[in-house]
Amino acid sequence: MKPFQDLIANRHSYVRDWKSRTGGKVLGYFCTYVPEEVAYAGGVLPVRVLGSHEPDNVAERHIYSMYCPFSRDCLAQGLRGRYDYLDGIAIAHSCIHVRQAFSSWRLHVPVEYDYYMFMPAKPQSPAAQVLLTREVQAFKESLEGWTGRAINRGSLEEAIEAVNTGRRLMRQVYELRKAERPPLTGAEAMEMAVSGQMMDRREHNALLQQALVELPGRVLPRETGLRLMIVGSEDDDTEMLRLIESLGATIVIDDHCTGSRDFWNLV
């Protein structure tokens, strides 16, 4: 588990190193609705903007204090300069709280590119797929204008396969959590999932493949206890999960956008 834990602890150092190694651009995104495959196809590294779970004293003047701690924490990271390596930011239409974080970031944290992608509010509508297809096309064309690099069918298919490979591997990890004695804790599963949202998916895939060689034979020196599921919108607070699991429980599944919703379905 150490490579995943190290990546989360040193997420900003990893991205800075990636930029120096590749010379590529980095796009911070505020919601999993942003199609990261399009960014990959354009040679851009998509990095999820997340908070640090520290007390915030800089975002108050930019965002309502009644807004959720996650959105305020994300904005605080930008205002503090933690994401100063970002070349651009993007969001797809989601809750008003994180949209405000994006809008304030765009105004007060310098980046060379920003993009707001609309999402159908009624996905059951016959027009939703047409609308979303056109929105993805517009995002693709915007990225091409920003980077000066054409995104063709071949590069898109290659990017989709890279991200889908990671989705398949994470599904295999989650299958292991069904065991009577899971070989990993909920906090460790969260670290595996979240680290993929802040690094090159191809490099993350290699770490997942290695972990899946070793995990089936791993035996944790702890009782499984109560088997719990966490449900919500966003959660990357591994310390909270460790606290829960220290009380005689194991988180065996989740339903939120930094966990299963990020990878459950293939593109």
Instruction: Tell me the C-alpha distance between 166 and 159, whole Å.
Output: 11
Q: What is the pLDDT of residue 57?
A: 84
For residue 194, what are the CA distances in angstroms to 177, 197, 250, 266?
17, 5, 18, 17
Q: How confident is the model at residue 55 (pLDDT cuts 50, 70, 90)?
A: confident
Cβ within 8 Å of residue 232, ≥6 positions away: 255, 256
Structure tokens at 223: 């009782």
The pairing of beta strand 25-29 with beta strand 44-48: parallel
Over pLDDT 90: what percentage of the chain? 97
* Cβ(85)–Cβ(11) below 8 Å: no
Q: How confident is the model at residue 56 (pLDDT cuts 50, 70, 90)?
A: confident
Instruction: Tell me the C-alpha distance between 15 and 125, whole Å.
Output: 39
Structure tokens at 68: 């959720």
* Cβ(215)–Cβ(182) below 8 Å: no
Is residue 8 predicted with pLDDT exceeding 90?
A: yes
Instruction: Tell me the C-alpha distance between 64 and 78, whole Å.
Output: 16
Can you say whether the dihedral through the CA atoms of 6, 112, 71, 61 is positive or negative?
positive
Short-list 64, 95, 59, CA closest to 77: 59
**Which residue would you say has higher pLDDT here, 64 or 177?**
177
Tell me the backbone φ, ψ of residue 112, rounded to 5 degrees.
Answer: -85, -10
- What residue ranges define each of the domains in the chain, with the CATH number in brackets? 8-151 (3.40.50.11890), 155-263 (1.20.1270)
* Cβ(88)–Cβ(117) below 8 Å: no
The distance from CA 31 to its chain's CA centroid, rounded to whole angstroms, is 8
26 three-state secondary structure: strand
For residue 73, what are the CA distances in angstroms to 8, 29, 193?
16, 14, 20
Instruction: Tell me the C-alpha distance between 29 and 54, whole Å.
Output: 20
Task: For residue range 124-148, list pLDDT tens digits in order.
Answer: 999 999 999 999 999 999 999 999 9
Residues 9-38, mean pLDDT to the nearest whole number = 97
Structure tokens at 216: 């089936």
Q: How confident is the model at residue 85 (pLDDT cuts 50, 70, 90)?
A: very high
Task: For residue range 179-205, list pLDDT tens digits in order.
Answer: 999 999 999 999 999 999 999 999 999
